[in-house]
Amino acid sequence: MKKDYESRIQELLSKMTIEEKIGQLQQCGPSLVGAFDVSFDELLNMMFDGRISQEEFGRLMSTAEQDFHEEDLRAGRISSYNGVGDAGTADRLQRIAVEETRLGIPLLFGYDVIHGFRTVTPIPLAESCAWEPELWEKTGRVAAEEATAAGVHMTFAPMVDVAKDARWGRISEGAGEDVLLNSAYGAAKVRGFQGDDLSKENAMAACVKHFAAYGAGEAGRDYNRVDMSPQRLWEEYMPSYQACVDAGARAVMPAFNDINGVPCSVNSWLLRDILRERWGFNGLVISDSNAIAECVIHGIAADRKDAARQAILAGMDMDMASNTYIECLKELVESGEVPESVLDEAAGDVLRIKFELGLFDHPYRTTQKREQETLLRPEYRTIAREAAVKSIVLLKNKDRVLPLKPETKAALFGALAADKGQMTGSWAIGAKEKDCVSMAEACAARGLDWQYCGPDADEAVLQAAAEGADVLIAAVGETKEESGEAASRADITVSEEQMRLIRQLADTGKPVIVVLFNGRPLAIPELHELAAAVVEAWHPGVEAGPAILDILCGDVNPSGKLTTTFPAVTGQCPMYYAHINTGRPGGKSKFTSKYLDAPLEPLYPFGYGLSYTTYAYTGQKVEKKEDGIHVSVAVTNTGGRDGDEIVQCYVQQMTGRRVRPVRQLKDFAKISLKTGETKTVTFVIPYAGLRYYDWEMKETPGEGILKVYVGGDSQAELAGQVVL
């Protein structure tokens, strides 16, 4: 049963001074002092843009002297830290808060645990390709077990920003382009992180982000403006945040961007009318890093004080890193520009999550012993491997070159084949390079006598390696710095240097198997042509090498399906399956919606992915019943291997009061089929799931002809139609 802390919150608030209340709204990160006089945020930035490596970051964090602003902490001016991820430090700081401050209010430790803490699992975009909520929840649980053992109370995840533009680097952090998938993914993560009782020592509060529509930034450029109709916002972007709130997420992070001209950080419509009033959320709203101060740069606030005023009035409880609240709120409250009741409400939200986490009763939730015993447990690695295997998408497999036969001799090429640090992808600040297993290492561990040809090898060495092998495996794609935050790309191809390698290998006439490491879709038509097989491995995490070999060697039959469209050229971006027809859908005629110099079709469609077996869909039935549209289909494994198939159900409303997308994913199911086996899958699409918004923003039931498509990808065949 949910506990009610309201009277304890009120009692505590009544004892607090204005300064202490404001202190509860302050989150900061440690600054590094001495030779590296940079803030934690700056250091993070340095890692993200490649100025320092992940390892250097880790070393600096652990060895450089850190300033935790302990005087401020003692004075009750700090409520929360971002970036403290070790039990020893967390314990030491918590003791100061509890034992040395006037009211003994415990600290809240937040951390970016995006896809695993120490046992890094695949990036979210990759993991979404498993289409498996149980898996998403399970890896979320592992992340929470580890992070809470290291002192973390709250993660800045899940990110459920629907992302339709592959140029945006942060597409890597979410579940791709579809709103239904992002909703299912986010809700599963919330369940995994938080468990069933937030006060348990291994439960971690989820902070859903970035509210809202951060993934819709114009031209895929990070932090850019979002300008869209309310209809589209509500149909395609808002449901995933709401799904997380409904799943019980206890914190929300407003996005950096503006929506239709009002930055989310000062957007009271978003943070009060929608989040709190309509959705009934009473958790913590915490800004993104420095986002309140950035409202001055946005041009919505005159100065820092005005930014602080607007943010708190709009419903922003906690200030991450900008120090505007701690600097300006006292004056604002004393002058009456910010009513004290608003301050109480914000401080109350902070206290509530601290109560819910059990911090007042058990402020020291972990020990160094527990941390040591928990991080990187073998069973967590097993789950990381399962997740990595299920994330892999087989994009091409000409002449069934894969799986490789046991006697096959292969040679490995490309720097990424032997790279450990790159395997985690972006946002893995708790990771250690030594924990990751590269492809080359995994080959050796399996006893495969495959030659690895390093990136420095000259032409002759490369030729010799190729000659001695039956197949050539090239690991190419993106480094982890090439996706993630502040890593938008205007050209999403594979680098020329890597393409040269692929061409050289293809010239030998031997089959080339490309393993892709990347954090976003890549526009790779030439690579697709030259390769015999293309294996999309994404940034798979600590178990990268073993998982990829599980697929290459055929121990596991690939089952992943894309949750993001792969354009053929960057200029097609934003490209997504749920587009509208227009009055002139792209076709042969010149005067249709298309480009002169790019194909109409994507390189790989949403939902697509191959297997080592084949599946047939038969007996499709679509019926109108009382509780919704019933769609059933028999799926048979017609090939020679057992496998898992992801069955997808799409609808198209042929008419509406506003034009409807050509397809919308309405349900999916992942089923295991032995060779020769048939299973019938039934989807029930409730009528409420067909509602959309009319011109006046009134929710409207679906009407007219509804076509239903069922199959193994977004180009699935028509299963039937009904009249609504």
Least separation in angstroms between CB 292 and ligand NOJ: 13
Beta pairing partners, 667: 649
Least separation in angstroms between CB 540 and ligand NOJ: 21
Least separation in angstroms between CB 103 and ligand NOJ: 27
Q: How many CA atoms within 13 Å lie on the side-chain side of 447?
A: 2
Residues 560 to 619 in contact with ligand NOJ, rule: CB under 6 A = none
Least separation in angstroms between CB 294 and ligand NOJ: 11
Q: Does 156 bind ligand NOJ (CB under 6 A)?
A: yes
Least separation in angstroms between CB 232 and ligand NOJ: 23
Task: Take residue 564 and report the two structure tokens written for it.
Answer: 């993001």
Nearer to ligand NOJ, 169 or 639 (CB): 169
Nearer to ligand NOJ, 485 or 645 (CB): 485
Nearer to ligand NOJ, 484 or 560 (CB): 484
Residues 261 to 320 in contact with ligand NOJ, rule: CB under 6 A = 288-289
DSSP letter for each residue of 509-559: TS-EEEEEE-SS----HHHHHH-SEEEE--S--TTHHHHHHHHHTTSS---
Torsion of CA 591, 595, 596, 597, to 10 degrees: -170
For ligand NOJ, how many residues bind (rule: CB under 6 A)?
7
CA 551 to chain centre: 23
Separation between Cα atoms, residue 169 and residue 152, nearest integer Å: 26
Q: Does 365 bind ligand NOJ (CB under 6 A)?
A: no
Q: Which residues contact 548 (CB under 8 A, 6 or more apart)?
A: 388, 392, 439, 442, 515, 535, 537, 540
Least separation in angstroms between CB 318 and ligand NOJ: 12
- Taking CB under 6 A as the criterion, the residue among 5, 16, 97, 112 binding ligand NOJ is 112
Residues 72 to 91 in contact with ligand NOJ, rule: CB under 6 A = 82
Separation between Cα atoms, residue 133 and residue 422, nearest integer Å: 26
Least separation in angstroms between CB 200 and ligand NOJ: 23
Nearer to ligand NOJ, 25 or 708 (CB): 25
DSSP letter for each residue of 164-214: --TT-GGGGGS--S-HHHHHHHHHHHHHHHHTT-TTSTT--EEEEEEETTG
Residues 323 to 342 in contact with ligand NOJ, rule: CB under 6 A = none
Residues 488 to 527 in contact with ligand NOJ, rule: CB under 6 A = none
Residues 179 to 218 in contact with ligand NOJ, rule: CB under 6 A = 209
Least separation in angstroms between CB 450 and ligand NOJ: 39
DSSP letter for each residue of 330-377: HHHHHTTSS-HHHHHHHHHHHHHHHHHTTTTT-S----HHHHHHHTT-
Nearer to ligand NOJ, 356 or 485 (CB): 485
End-to-end CA distance of the chain: 41
Catalytic annotation on 258? no
Separation between Cα atoms, residue 286 and residue 321, nearest integer Å: 10
- Position 131, amino acid: W
- Taking CB under 6 A as the criterion, the residue among 137, 146, 177, 485 binding ligand NOJ is 485
Q: Does 161 bind ligand NOJ (CB under 6 A)?
A: no
Least separation in angstroms between CB 74 and ligand NOJ: 25
707: nearest Cα among 724, 683, 686, 689: 724
Nearer to ligand NOJ, 162 or 506 (CB): 162
Separation between Cα atoms, residue 283 and residue 315, nearest integer Å: 11
Nearer to ligand NOJ, 169 or 315 (CB): 169
Buried b / exposed e over 406-429, threshold 16 CB at 10 Å, is eebebbbbbbbbbbbbbbbbbbbb
Task: Take residue 172 and report the two structure tokens written for it.
Answer: 């890597």
Nearer to ligand NOJ, 386 or 485 (CB): 485
Quick one: which H or E segment has residue 643?
strand 643-653
Nearer to ligand NOJ, 211 or 413 (CB): 211
Active-site annotation holder among 112, 165, 288, 306: 288
What are the start-end ranges of the H helices in 198-322? Answer: 230-232, 238-246, 268, 294-298, 304-314
Note the residues at the interface with ligand NOJ (CB under 6 A): 82, 112, 156, 209, 288-289, 485
- Any idea which residues carry the catalytic annotation? 288
